Every structure is written in structure tokens, then in C-alpha cells.
A and B are shown apart, each in its own frame.
Chain A
Amino acid sequence: AQSVTQPDIHITVSEGASLELRCNYSYGATPYLFWYVQSPGQGLQLLLKYFSGDTLVQGIKGFEAEFKRSQSSFNLRKPSVHWSDAAEYFCAVGAGSGNTPLVFGKGTRLSVIA
């Protein structure tokens, strides 16, 4: 069965520091991988996605993620965090076909301190 694990429930970083959010997945076929961000009471915004090709993908707001098949990981990174990045981050996996939904991890809450 497909699943997504985000090991870190809550991470606190200082503004300007680098960030890495971990994501591991279990999937039977070639995965489509996503990172979404959610601010309190809001819907989800897509940060970036990986379908195929270059394993390092760039997203919006200065985020990037690297797909590592050997480690079944798709970790999200940002070199310098801004206070506005404080939010909930969800990693998701899917097959990409019409009736296949995305399966989400439990999320990682990011707090940013001055």
C-alpha cells in the first residue's frame, strides 16, 4: 500500500537559517511526488512536484526538493528561511492517473523564530 512518512511533526528554525523537511514514501510504481504548504485555515498551495527527469526540482518561494529513489525520499529544502514560511508542510505521493488520489503524509509544522 502506498504511504508517506514525514518523521518530523514540528520543526523550529531561526529566520535566515537553512531548512530541510524530510519525506519518505512507499509506492509500488513510479511515484509522482508533491510538496504542499498550508497556512492556518487555508487550502493547500503546491510548492513543487516531481514526475520524471532531473531529480532536483525547483519550486516556488525558493524551495527545492530532491528525489532519491534508492532512499525512497523526497526531502524539501530551502537555503534561507523567512518568517512568512511558517506553516504546515505536506508531502504527497500519487500515480498521476485519473482516478488515483494523492496520499498525504501527516505534515510537518514549521515555526520560524527571530
Chain B
Amino acid sequence: GAVVSQHPSRVICKSGTSVKIECRSLDFQATTMFWYRQFPKQSLMLMATSNEGSKATYEQGVEKDKFLINHASLTLSTLTVTSAHPEDSSFYICSARGRQNTGELFFGEGSRLTVL
């Protein structure tokens, strides 16, 4: 159990366009979802925390108008990279925590964004 799915796994877009990444909890209700960003050969850096039905809380230095996060239901959160630029190219990983709140986070497979 506790499967988190991300889509798309890979996306290439032109500079200036917007890209949406979906994160779904397939077999549990995710009360809280976290979005991380990982640059090549680096660790995961938290971008934002979202709770269902509430506005996301962004980490310092993360532009909330550029990285739009929506957590409209208990099984879906989306990250939209608006007006993407090459420096936004990265590996984006979502994670979710369920109602049972065991402390563990369940991670999606990640989405690799390449902005040309």
C-alpha cells in the first residue's frame, strides 16, 4: 500500500511555457503533501508544503508565483511551473503523508523537467 504516483515522469518544454506536474496518492488519503526539488547529484530541497484545501506554505527563496501548488483533494496535488526558464530544469519529487500520520513520507517516482 501507500503508493504515490507522479505524472509526467519526463517533460521537455520551451522557455516561457508552463508545465503542470501531478502527484496522486493511489491508495490512501494524503492530508499533507510536500514538493521537493533535486538538482543533479544533490540532495532533496523542500519547496513547499500543502494541505488539502489550503494554500501551500513555501520555503524561503521559493517563488510562490512561479511554482503554483494546488492541493484540491485528498488524493491530488499539482505543481505548475509558470513561465519556465532553463534554470528551472530539475527533478521534482512529491511526497505524501496519510491520515494515520506514521511520520513516514511516501514518495512519487519524480518528474524530470527540461526547459530548452
Annotate A88-114 by CB proximity to B: 1 below 8 A, 0 otherwise.
001000111111011111110100000
Residues on the A chain within 8 Å of B6, using CB: 43
A44 lies within 8 A of B93 (CB): yes
Q: Is the C-beta of B68 less than 8 angstroms from some C-beta in chain A?
A: no
Task: Number of A interface residues at 8 Å Cβ cutoff, please give it.
Answer: 26
B49 within 8 A of A: yes
Residues from chain A with a CB closer than 8 A to the CB of B102 are 51, 96
For A101, what are the chain B residues with a Cβ–Cβ distance below 8 Å?
Answer: 34, 46, 49, 95, 105
Q: In the complex, which of the residues A41, A45, A97, A102 has the most CB atoms of chain B within 10 Å of its own CB atom?
A: A102
Distance, CA A96 to CA B104, complexed state (A): 7
Check A43–B44 contact: CB distance below 8 A.
no
CB distance from A35 to the nearest CB of B (A): 12
CA distance A108 to B102 in the complex (A): 26
B27 CB to closest chain A CB, in angstroms?
A: 16
Question: Are A51 and B103 in contact, CB atoms less than 8 angstroms apart?
Answer: yes
Chain A min CB distance to B36 (Å): 8
A residues less than 8 Å from B107 (CB atoms):
36, 43-45
The CA of A94 and the CA of B51, in the complex, are separated in Å by 17
Known: A44-B93, A98-B32. A32 touches B103 (CB 8 A): yes
Interface assignment of A46: CB less than 8 Å from any CB of chain B = yes
In the assembled complex, how far is the CB of residue A33 from the closest CB belonging to chain B, in whole angstroms?
10
Q: Are B103 and A95 touching (Cβ within 8 A)? A: yes
Task: Give residues 9-39 of B contacting A (CB, 8 Å).
Answer: 31-32, 34
CB <8 Å contact, B49 and A46: no
Q: Decide if A99 touches B32 in the complex (CB within 8 Å).
A: yes
> Would B101 and A43 count as touching, CB distance under 8 A?
no
In the bound complex, do residue A42 and residue B110 qualify as a contact, i.e. CB atoms below 8 Å apart?
yes
Interface residues of A, Cβ cutoff 8 Å to B? 32, 34, 36, 41-46, 49, 51, 90, 94-99, 101-107, 109
